[in-house]
Amino acid sequence: MIQIVVLGSAAGGGFPQWNSNAPGCRRARAHDPAALPRTQASLAISADGRNWFLLNASPDLRAQINATPELHPNGTLRSSPIQGVLLTGGEVDTITGLLTLRERQPLGLYATRPTLDLLDANPIFEVLNREVVTRNTLTLNHPIPLPLTDGQTSGLTATAFAVPGKAPLYAENAANPTAQGEDGETIGLDITDGTHHLLYIPGCAIMTDALIARAHQADALFFDATLWHDAEMIEAGLGQKTGRRMGHMSVSGPGGVLDTFKTHRTPRKILIHINNSNPILLADSPESAQVEAAGWQVAEDGLRLTL
């Protein structure tokens, strides 16, 4: 069994975003039921319903924990059901929540070498005391069991796999900012209990045959839905970057997420990491209807499923 709680479903900045006065964000602030607010993307997963691992630590993590009874302490005076955190990259919206997990609480931290290097290059993350928060290197395509902090087995195994992406904005190589490699700066995660497979891919710049093949084996696929179409931010007057420049492929259009997976029989296909400009955040939009017709679900904070 794999239990999943969607802690957050929005892309960086959340919905609404602090400095966006666009119509969608205005609707979210006005408590429009068709424009549900969303915190930044993260999942909590568990094999036993008692011990949990986080997939990414978003800047909203403290509020996400408060909103999720499964993650409240239920043991000693200082304790937490959170046993570890797995990171898919080093962006602000995937690592900032680590700063909430301070106070010398034992945890396992799992990331690829480039992401661990980014953390090491920022002394502020030393608040996660290395004596109790172990740093564990994820190697691409190498399954590792996820132990509980007491050394017992959690029943879950994680495999990191390459996803085309780019370095975080704050660590971009000025000479080649749009380099999109598969060197572990951005990864996807394949989580299994030995029977079921959860795929978590919150950021993907370009589809690859390997990703398409892997998705065929998944019981649940959470996939990057940052932008509906590539020039969306520019056309809305919200920014100067295409999705491609930001390291995210589009949901719609030829070669987009819906098109790519249209023949996949994956039981649960869920769009996540949704930017505040993406019309699928509005439940009454034609794009939301199109997503549903294609067999996809739009992630919402608090969504729970069990594989």
Q: How far is the CB of 22 from a copy of itself (least distance, A)?
A: 5
- Give the residues lining the site for a copy of itself (CB under 8 A): 12-14, 16-22, 25, 29, 37, 39, 59-63, 65-66, 71-80, 82, 92, 95-96, 99-103, 105, 118, 121-127, 169-171, 236-239
Q: How far is the CB of 185 from a copy of itself (least distance, A)?
A: 15
Q: How far is the CB of 251 from a copy of itself (least distance, A)?
A: 21
Nearer to a copy of itself, 92 or 144 (CB): 92
Q: What angle do CA 41, 6, 196 make, to 5 degrees?
A: 115
Q: How far is the CB of 63 from a copy of itself (least distance, A)?
A: 5
- Rounded CA separation 253/266 (Å): 20
Q: How far is the CB of 120 from a copy of itself (least distance, A)?
A: 11
Q: Tell me the HSE value of 250 on the side-chain side, using a 13 A CA sphere.
A: 18
Contact 38, 8 (CB under 8 A): yes
Nearer to a copy of itself, 64 or 192 (CB): 64
Nearer to a copy of itself, 197 or 248 (CB): 248
Give the C-alpha distances (Å, rounded to integers) separating 189 from 7, 55, 158, 200: 17, 8, 7, 5
Nearer to a copy of itself, 43 or 71 (CB): 71
Nearer to a copy of itself, 95 or 207 (CB): 95
- Rounded CA separation 182/10 (Å): 24
**Are β-strands 107-111 and 133-137 bridged in parallel, bridged antiparallel, or unpaired?**
parallel
Cβ contacts of residue 235 below 8 Å, gap of 6+?
none
- Token look-up 């993907």 returns 204
Q: How far is the CB of 19 from a copy of itself (least distance, A)?
A: 4
Nearer to a copy of itself, 40 or 266 (CB): 40
Contact 52, 82 (CB under 8 A): yes
**Residue 218 CB neighbours (<10 A):** 24
Q: How far is the CB of 157 from a copy of itself (least distance, A)?
A: 26
Q: Which two tokens stand for residue 58?
A: 């978003």
Return the SS3 of 65. helix
Nearer to a copy of itself, 100 or 208 (CB): 100
